[in-house]
Amino acid sequence: MAVLEILKIPDDRLKQISQPVEQFDDALRAFIDDLEETRCDGPAAVGIAAPQVGHFQRIVIVDVSNTRKPVPNHGHMILVNPEITHWEGFEMGREGCLSVPDYTGNVIRATHIKIRAQDSWGNPLEYEMEGYEARAVQHELDHIDGMLFIDRVVSRRTDLFQRKVYQKGGKAKK
């Protein structure tokens, strides 16, 4: 296992669209282990996407098991080839990102989504989710399409906020 280097803005590789995973083999699972170790390095991020470490395949990890938000959630998820199949509602919320270390921003996301994905063995997964978990998944799925939350803020003048110091237990990064 290894902690991988995180690409940060303005690295143009973060805009690259990732390719679907076709082989569910040991190399894939070894990469997912490294991606998870990278997510948990330092103050653990809520989510991470493969392209954030320069690996352009459609793989994300989201773990909202430590959130204080009361809505039930699915805890730790490894999502390979994830797709959103249904969106409902919208609300503004604050986001951060390992690839955008100096800022947080207000982003509008769907409040309820349904997703389809595969696990690391290729088995099909289906989840329905809402609130913070739905936001985290939408944020990570953007990464595999080359999008960052700063591309979605309504106004860079009023909706982007400079982080002062990164505090342990503070705003979660994704």
Q: CB of residue 138 vs Ni ion: minimum separation in angstroms?
A: 11
Partners of residue 102 on adjacent β-strands: none
- If one asks whether residue 58 binds Ni ion (CB under 5 A), the answer comes out as no
Question: Which tokens go with 156?
Answer: 């860079």
- Give the CA diameter of the chain: 46
Residue 40 annotated as part of some ligand binding site: no
Give CA–CA dist 52/104, Å, rounded: 17
Which is closer to Ni ion, CB of 81 or CB of 104?
A: 104
Show the site string, 92-121: x = touches Ni ion by CB under 5 A, - = not: -----x------------------------
Give CA–CA dist 53/49, Å, rounded: 8
Residue 97 annotated as part of some ligand binding site: yes
Residue 139 annotated as part of some ligand binding site: yes
Which is closer to Ni ion, CB of 58 or CB of 174?
A: 174
Query: Following CA atoms 7, 129, 172, 27 in sequence, which dihedral angle do they give, to the nearest 10 degrees?
Result: -40
Compute the Cα dihedral for 174, 109, 17, 114 and give only its sign. positive
Q: CB of residue 25 vs Ni ion: minimum separation in angstroms?
A: 27
Give the residue ranges of the annotated binding site for Fe cation: 97, 139, 143
Residues that bind Ni ion (CB under 5 A): 97, 174
